[in-house]
Chains A and B, each alone.
Chain A
């Protein structure tokens, strides 16, 4: 395609190719320089014209259209300041593109810029050092604060809208209705408690025989509001089998897992128990029950409510078992063929119709299942009390109670939403990072970097000098004398752990002396992190300690000893660019350490750091430019 450019677009001037580095040697003889999109980020090569040879690019994952932000960034390079009156941008559209896509690309917005402001100890210390330094002012005037302030009007509007909506819902006899509502909530929770106790594996396991009728909850589709009647929306099914769940969670109780199997809820008809490797007591494990009941599969694959029988949730969702019946029916062994299943379900409906008047007899928890916990009895008594209250309640008799309750529920939900948005607003108006600021100051005081009246101590002055690596850990290392009696190359290798942020998959372990030094570094890091945790800074001690990696210790050690670059690339598997970046950052840290050593008056250490700089600052790693 380089040839194509040359032919179709005849002009003179540098040309920036969009495709990552497809260098075409034929082009190089002409005035066209080819480059990739990295040139557009801002290397100092002014250009009059920018030519896009493709409108698609490969971003490492897939071939996609150019985004508007990228287009803006790259086309903005056209035109040399002070020399060209205008810059020219040529977009070679080599394939069919929808007008809407093209419009988005050319007229779209640039990538949004979100503040990534964060507090650092170095920043804090330097602020405290100056008499005029007010960290709170810095936070208040930061871009982060500005962006979060901007979000406030929209949140306010939302709150207003929701409040209007809430106030428009008018219900008669609202107070007594609220009372009733809360009673219903209590009733439900108690019933759930009772169910939890009754259906813990301890009590119900002996009763989960194949053929027992079980009462399960109907599923609801998303549009339905929760029902508020005292009656439960349930239906009946037949237990086929049950299995122990090999789960990592140690929960009691069990779930009924459904699986789409045409119209029937079914799981594997595995008749064997799952043998649990861990020696968990049978009572404590979780179980799944295979239940045969009717469901309907909708087009989307989910289940929908039918008129008569059971809708069921999608596969894998737990249902609530309401009660076990004392009736067992005989079921055939093989339930795969649909006729067998249909037959079984016919038997179930027959049972239901036979007992339609009194209701299907249930297993009584106390008598049959021998539930004997006191909490169960307490819960049962409270339920009975509540039930009597329901009958006496005045509102219970009023018509349309169900709808009124639903409206009330909706109102409560709106109120909850309003509350959460208000909370969000409050956190926006409050100064971002304020708590973190206080916590970090506490850390500095605890570690002795600042005195109690916020005057910077000597340790703090040392930490002020360090900005390219973790200042607290490094200062602790300096003051613990680790750098004093080790060789220069070892010191450089140790410092490399502080500037290397990537995670290498299979890094080789460094040699023993370096390993020891690294352990000392981790020790200091852990100490620092613990103090931070105590002062309520959000930090994970182990994460922090393991963020320092010894992956390039060997390579940097070799570099400091004088090896050539290709030799150290054989030691380690990292990218060349990453290694060079790390070594350059290391040199920055060393320069800062020289200043720090000077401020504490340790001339030996200072000369050691200077020697280290001389040892690593050489050759290709520190070459200013590879081209010139």
Chain B
């Protein structure tokens, strides 16, 4: 809970504290018991030689010491420490959002809030004409037309190498959604929000298209959340011939002229602030909670910029405490 980010007066502080206390009491006792910090001893039956010592543990002088701050997890004979606050550790299959930092010879280097930059190979991205083929030198020279530095992209971790470098790929339709100007999901009208990565849990779905608001929300497992405009996919048949002759990667002028509606922009901002509030309070970020906060702010007619103020945050905390104590 980043209390320094919001200013609270005295009553608000008390209310917030009360809400957080309720939530603490509701959370499972066993979890808090299992939390350890660095150099804590992990209670384990040391005579049992078949104990598997996983991540975050160290066998020191016959005792099992934790090397992380986190929670001790036990699965059958495996004991490991799941760290709560760390950089993102990539895992195969995770959906992530990243920012391109470098365009190299046949790959892009992407910042994904992990210990190493992610690598997106040219071959791991759908070719502009959609045909499965080898990438030629012309493709390499045209890389910049797809992604440039500082572009925000979404991808999936294909595999993780030994030094925890993630190899990404963006091949499926979802990542390469057909828009009316290129084949890729251009994430350029919206906001990229950085939240602690442990607040975004691995779920079945990370892409959320909110049609009624015209907003696309991507909850990246690495803590980068994209809230942006939802571009309706145009039917491929309607593509102008002239556009096709430009070559797959170029953007047409239409894109420049397309302006986002005011309402969509407001929605984007509201949802982004909802995410920020959750991040400040340290609650898990899921689509349901985001939408709840969104509705709450609209029903109370809270101004968008007021959402980041102290009063709204306290309200959200109280609402959450109420909701959980009811369940």
Please report A residues at the B interface, Cβ cutoff 8 Å: 129-132, 448, 453-459, 461, 464, 476, 478-482, 484-485, 598, 600-602, 604-605
A131→B76 CA distance, assembly (Å): 27
Of all chain A residues, the one with the shortest Cβ separation from B81 is A601
Q: How far is the CB of B289 from chain A (nearest CB, A)?
A: 15
In-complex Cβ contact of A600 among B78, B92, B172, B205 (8 A): B78
Q: List 10 A-B contacts (CB under 8 A).
A: A129-B93, A131-B205, A448-B75, A476-B76, A484-B50, A484-B52, A485-B49, A601-B54, A601-B55, A602-B52
Within 8 A of A (CB), among B142-175: 156, 162, 172, 174
11 extra interface residue pairs, beta carbon distance < 8 Å, beyond A132-B156, A601-B53: A131-B95, A131-B207, A453-B203, A455-B201, A458-B75, A461-B91, A478-B52, A479-B76, A484-B77, A601-B54, A602-B52
Q: Is the CB of B53 within 8 A of A602?
A: yes
CB-CB contacts below 8 Å: B51-70 with A: 51-57
Interface: B198 (CB within 8 A):
no
CA–CA, A132 and B174, complex, Å = 8
CB distance from B24 to the nearest CB of A (A): 24
Within the complex, what minimum Cβ distance (angstroms) separates B95 from chain A? 6
Residue of B nearest to A602 (CB): B52
Point out the residues of chain A lying under 8 angstroms from B48, CB to CB. 481
Contact B50 A485 (CB under 8 A): yes
Q: Which of B29-49 contact A (CB under 8 A)?
A: 48-49
> Contacts of A478 on B, CB cut-off 8 Å?
52
Q: Which residue of B lies closest to A126 (CB)?
A: B93
Q: How far is the CB of B197 from chain A (nearest CB, A)?
A: 16
Contact B156 A484 (CB under 8 A): no
A476 CB to nearest chain B CB (Å) = 8
Within the assembled complex, what's the spacing in Å between the Cα atoms of A484 and B51?
A: 7
A604 neighbours in B (Cβ, 8 Å): 53
Are A600 and B52 in touch, CB under 8 angstroms? Answer: yes
Residue of A nearest to B95 (CB): A131
- Given the complex of chains A and B, what is the CA–CA distance between A47 and B193 in angstroms? 63
A602 to B77, CA, bound (A): 11
Assuming the contacts A485-B49, A601-B80, A602-B53, asked whether A130 and B156 have C-beta atoms less than 8 A apart, the reply is yes
Contact of A479 among B78, B95, B174 (CB under 8 A): B78
Contact: A481 with B92, CB < 8 Å? no
The answer to whether B80 and A600 have CB atoms under 8 Å apart is yes
Known contacts A130-B93, A600-B55; is-contact A479 B75 (Cβ 8 Å): yes
* Contact in complex: B52, A481 (CB < 8 Å): yes
Report Cα–Cα, A436/B35, bound state, in Å: 40
Q: Contacts A132-B174, A480-B76 known; A455 to B202 CB distance under 8 Å?
A: yes
B206 part of interface (Cβ distance < 8 Å): yes
CB-CB under 8 A from B201, the residues of chain A are: 455
B132 → chain A closest CB, angstroms: 17
* Complex Cα spacing A605 to B80, Å: 14
B52 touches A131 (CB 8 A): no
Q: Say yes or no: is B246 at the interface (Cβ < 8 Å to chain A).
A: no
B96 to chain A, nearest CB (A): 11
A129 and B78 CA atoms in complex are apart in Å by 21
Looking across the interface, which residue of chain B has its beta carbon closest to that of A605?
Answer: B52
B204 within 8 A of A: yes
The answer to whether B202 and A481 touch across the interface, beta carbons within 8 angstroms, is no
The chain B residue with its CB closest to the CB of A597 is B52
Complex Cα–Cα for A454 and B156 (A): 18
Please determine whether B50 and A129 come into contact, CB atoms closer than 8 angstroms.
no
User: Is there an interface contact between B51 and A455, defined as CB atoms closer than 8 Å?
Assistant: no
Count B interface residues, CB 8 Å.
30
Bound Cα distance from A391 to B91, whole angstroms: 82
Cross-interface CB contact of B51 among A130, A461, A481, A598, cutoff 8 Å:
A481
List of B residues within 8 angstroms of A481 by Cβ = 48, 50-52, 76-77
CB of B112, distance to nearest CB on chain A (Å): 16
By a CB distance below 8 angstroms, the chain B residues around A459 are: 75
Cross-chain contact A454 with B204 (CB below 8 angstroms): yes
Chain A nearest Cβ from B196, distance in angstroms: 19
User: Within the assembled complex, what's the spacing in Å between the Cα atoms of A264 and B292?
Assistant: 92
In the complex, chain B residues whose CB is within 8 Å of the CB of A464:
92
A461-B91, A479-B77 given; A455·B52 CB < 8 A: no
Q: Who on chain A is nearest to B175 by CB?
A: A132
In the assembled complex, the CB of B176 is this many whole angstroms from the nearest CB of chain A, namely 12
A132 to B91, CA, bound (A): 16
Min CB distance A132 to B, Å, is: 5
B266 to chain A, nearest CB (A): 29
CB within 8 Å for A456 and B162 given contacts A485-B49, A600-B54, A600-B55: no
Closest-by-CB residue of B relative to A604 is B53
Residues in A with CB closer than 8 Å to B53 are 601-602, 604
Tell me if B203 and A455 are in contact (CB < 8 A).
Answer: yes
CA distance A130 to B155 in the complex (A): 12
A131 touches which one: B50, B78, B206 (CB < 8 A)? Answer: B206
Q: Which residue of A lies closest to B206 (CB)?
A: A131
Contact A453 B76 (CB under 8 A): no
State which residues 95-124 of B face A: CB under 8 Å: 95
Please measure, in the bound complex, the distance between the C-alpha atom of A132 and the C-alpha atom of B157, giving whole angstroms: 12
Q: How far is the CA of A478 from the CA of B50 in the complex (A)?
A: 10
List chain B residues, Cβ under 8 A from A454: 204
Least distance between A77 CB and chain B CB atoms (Å) = 29
Question: Which B165-214 residues sit within 8 Å CB-CB of chain A?
Answer: 172, 174, 201-207
Which 6 A-B pairs give the minimum distances between C-beta atoms?
A481-B50, A601-B55, A481-B77, A479-B76, A129-B93, A601-B54
Which residues of the other chain, A, contact B77 by a CB distance below 8 angstroms? 479-481, 484
CA distance A279 to B212 in the complex (A): 81
A73 to B172, CA, bound (A): 38
- Please measure, in the bound complex, the distance between the C-alpha atom of A558 and the C-alpha atom of B75, giving whole angstroms: 34
Q: Give the chain B neighbours of A600 by CB distance below 8 A.
A: 52, 54-55, 78, 80
Judge whether A480 and B50 touch: CB under 8 Å.
yes
Contact A484/B49 with A479-B77, A600-B80 known, Cβ cut-off 8 Å? yes
Known: A481-B51, A602-B52. A456 touches B93 (CB 8 A): yes
**Measured CA separation A456–B78 after assembly (Å):** 17
- Known contacts A479-B75, A602-B53: A131-B80 contact under CB 8 Å: no
CB distance from A331 to the nearest CB of B (A): 77
The answer on a CB contact under 8 Å between B55 and A131 is: no
Question: In whole angstroms, how far apart are the Cα atoms of A605 and B201 in the complex?
Answer: 29
User: Chain B contacts of A598 at CB under 8 A?
Assistant: 162
Contact B52–A482 (Cβ < 8 Å): no
Q: How far apart sit A69 and B48, CA to CA, in the bound complex (Å)?
A: 59
CB pair A453–B204 under 8 Å, yes or no, is yes
CA distance A457 to B91 in the complex (A): 12
Closest A residue to B56 by beta carbon equals A601
Kindly report which residue of chain A lies nearest to residue B171, judged by CB atoms.
Answer: A132
Task: Report the Cα distance A456→B95, complex, angstroms.
Answer: 14
Q: How far is the CA of A363 from the CA of B55 in the complex (A)?
A: 86
Select which of A129, A132, A480 is within 8 A of B92 by beta carbon. A129
Q: Which residues of A contact B51 (CB under 8 A)?
A: 481, 484
Rounded to whole Å, the gap between the CB of B63 and the closest CB of chain A is: 16
Inside 8 A of B204's CB, which chain A residues have their CB? 131, 453-455
Q: How far is the CA of A130 from the CA of B204 in the complex (A)?
A: 9
- Within the complex, the shortest CB–CB distance from B192 to chain A, in Å, comes to 20
What's the minimum C-beta distance from B149 to chain A, rounded to whole angstroms? Answer: 27
